[in-house]
A = this chain, B = another copy of it.
Amino acid sequence: MFIGEYKHNIDEKGRIAVPAKFRKQLKGAIITRGLDRCLFVFNKIEWQELAKKLIALPLAQANSRAFVRLMLAGAMEAPLDGQGRILVPEYLKQYAALKKQAVVTGLYNRIEIWDEIEWQKYKSKTEASSDDIAEKLSELGI
């Protein structure tokens, strides 16, 4: 289970450290385009399940076709190096507008990588609608 929020730097070579707590659970990482201009990183097992769901989507619908292309064509194996870092391909860095400072978040069965500024914006936008949040929570029985 991946949870938490970590601030890390991307160096000139495009490498970013995976938080130490995530490493054991990441046997064979896959990195790909995510939603809302961030990157997704999956465990190999999770990735295979997702891929199965993706290819099951109706080919006839234009938007599901586009979604499948986004996820599958964007994907890349990302083995951890000796220091526990992964290499972010150039085209994915551009997609997520990644500069030096980035944020790595754990979302249960996937990891996301955000540009720090974008992440802050996204968070404050969401926190601003705290009434919605309260509502959601009460729906979940909290």
Contacts and interface: CB of A to CB of B under 8 A. Distances in A.
A77 B36 contact: no
A111 B106 CA distance: 22
Given A66-B122, A126-B67, A137-B35, A4 B109 contact: no
B35 A72 contact: no
Interface in A35-59: 35-36, 50-51, 53-55, 59
A56 to B, nearest CB: 9
A109 B141 CA distance: 12
Contacts of A123: 70
Q: Which of A1, A63, A68, A134 has the most CB of B within 10 A?
A: A1
Nearest to A125: B66
B67 A136 contact: yes
A83 interface: no
A57 B76 CA distance: 27
Given A50-B140, A54-B108, A108-B54, A35 B67 contact: no
Interface of A: 1, 3-5, 21, 30, 35-36, 50-51, 53-55, 59, 62-70, 72-77, 89, 91, 105-110, 112, 122-123, 125-127, 129-130, 132-134, 136-137, 140-142
Given A3-B77, A4-B73, A54-B108, 10 more contacts: A21-B77, A35-B59, A35-B134, A50-B142, A63-B132, A69-B105, A69-B112, A70-B123, A70-B127, A72-B107
